[in-house]
Structure formats: C-alpha cells, structure tokens
Homo-oligomer: A and B are copies of this chain.
C-alpha cells in the first residue's frame, strides 16, 4: 500500500493530538509540519515529520502532499482551506470550520465545485460508545426517535482570556453537542431555545458570555431534544448521551478511569470519569483521522462533511440569538 503524504498546518493542542496519532501510522508520511512557532527545535520535537515551515503555502506547493490537516487557529481555517482546495489537496479541517459566514460559504461552494474531499473535525462522532447508540437506532431497536438528551460538562472553566476569543459557549463548547445531536438523531434541527446562566465564574458573565446552559431543540420531524452544558464539573469531564424512542432507550454513560470499586463502611467508591477530552476521546481522535485517510485513499463521502461543519455553526448562531432574545429561534439553512 503506497503511503499517503500529508502536511499538518497548525501544531497547537489539537494539532499535537493528531500528530501523535498520525506518527504511529505506518502508511502515512508527514512530509510537512507548518506552524507559526516552528523553529529549529521542531525537528527534534516532531521526529516523524520531514520538513518544517511557518508558511502554509510552502506545504500546499509541494506536489507530493495529497492531504492537509488544518488545525491552525479558527480564523485562518478558511483561507488555508481555500488555498488547499485550489492546490488539489484533500482537507481535514478542525471545528469550527471558520468564523466568517460569507467566507465559509465562499469556500464551501468552491470546495463543492472542485470536488475537494473535505472532512470537518468533530471527533465525538467517532466515539465508540456514541456509535453504539447510532447502531441501535439503525437496527430499529429503539423504534422511532422521540427525545434526545445530551449532557456535556467540562472539568474546569477556561480562563477569561480564552473566553474573550472563544466565540462564546455555543461556538466554542456546545458546537460539539450541536453536531452530535444531528449525528445521533440522524435529523436536522428546526428550532432552538435557550436558558443560560452565569453560575461558575462571574468573570465569564462580565465578558457577556454564560457558563451554564440548557438548550432545547425541535427536530425537523417532531422529535425533541435537550442539551445541558456546564463549564465546570468538579468530578471531571461529563459526557453522556441518551436517545429515547418508541421501543426503547440507548444511554451512553461516562468512561471512568478504572472499573475498580472500593467498598467500605462509608460507601462503594468508584473512580471518576476520564478527566478531559484528550483522555476521553483519545480513541475517537485516532478513529476520525483513520477514517479521513480511508477516504483520501479510497474515495467516498467523509463521515463528517463540510456541510455538517456549517450546520453546527448555524445551530450555535441560533442559540446565541435565542439567548439574546429569549425567544425560540429558527435554525437558518446553510445558504
């Protein structure tokens, strides 16, 4: 099997996750790492990569590179994606796909026209626990879907500095849940209503954001759903999904750091959930990249498309409007 030659653009926290996964894949060659901070320490830090640059155009200009992983900061995703599409590279782009609607749509149409392979990086779709829900749904075990519930709580709130540039709780955190409700339900969302609160950190409130939210959803066929988010769960990363249907319910619980329980006179004590997303979704991050490379090699539609990426943004936009107006808001279409 000929190896796939790739370039990685952006080596922040998530970029590093992908690097560590890809560097263990025998059939993928990392021809380039592009990072604004790339310096002469990089070759030692990232021995699996061959060449280093601070200019992504250098990567795109390399005819051997077939695919790029765009994990740079969100505001330059689309600029890079556009150039990559023009250069004929397959694209894996981290979520959210961008910050500017017009730019996103422009690139979206460009990608469509060029037939570029484009996968959006919503890693949770690849979590094997969540996939078991989708499998039960597809097997008909649950009957007709009626209520979908997602609980998603981070172990600790981000710094105020991060919140400032984060795009707010809907775009930064709940966007994962907006994508997963579409994936798990197999449906689009029609309307969004929001109950938001600042309960974790008053600083977040001063920045105009919220840190705790309950969002209710109407799906296109009458199914309803609810997402609850908190920026801080003292017991660790809390990630649960429940799909309730006419014939049954599927519930994905948390993944705990061990199966061991200790019983004493004070109770039966088990371990807390995996601390945060790097631990909880370690396998999922790997699976999504494997899936991407499979499409690069064999063709086919990515399991998470550009359109999926935009639809999650539309949901976040609707939620923001619902929070501001206190009204139920219709989710806008992609175009």
Q: What is the CB-to-nearest-CB distance from A305 to chain B, in angstroms, rounded to a whole number? A: 25
Stretch at the interface among A31-39, A80-88, A160-168, A267-275: A267-275
How many copies of this chain sit in the oligomeric assembly?
4
| Cβ–Cβ < 8 Å partners of A271 in chain B | 132, 267-268
- Asked if A200 is at the interface of the complex by the 8 Å CB criterion, the answer is yes
- Asked if A53 is at the interface of the complex by the 8 Å CB criterion, the answer is no
In the complex, the answer to whether A216 meets B244 with C-beta atoms within 8 Å is: no
Stretch at the interface among A89-97, A112-120, A255-263: A255-263
- Looking at A249, A250, A268, A326, the one whose CB has the most chain B CB atoms below 10 A away is A268
Q: What is the CB-to-nearest-CB distance from A198 to chain B, in angstroms, rounded to a whole number? A: 8
Given contacts A24-B23, A197-B222, A263 and B246 within 8 Å (CB-CB): no
Contact partner of A216 among B195, B251, B268, CB < 8 A?
Answer: B195
A-B contact pairs, 12 of them (CB 8 A): A129-B260, A136-B262, A141-B264, A146-B200, A147-B214, A233-B249, A234-B265, A249-B263, A254-B259, A263-B273, A267-B270, A268-B269
- Other than A146-B200, A195-B217, A248-B262, give 12 A-B pairs with Cβ distance below 8 A: A26-B48, A128-B257, A133-B260, A142-B262, A193-B193, A198-B222, A216-B216, A230-B244, A234-B246, A256-B268, A267-B269, A326-B328
A contacts, CB < 8 Å to B: 23-24, 26, 47-48, 128-130, 132-133, 136, 141-144, 146-147, 149, 151, 153, 193, 195, 197-200, 212, 214, 216-218, 222-226, 228, 230, 232-236, 238, 244, 246-273, 326, 328
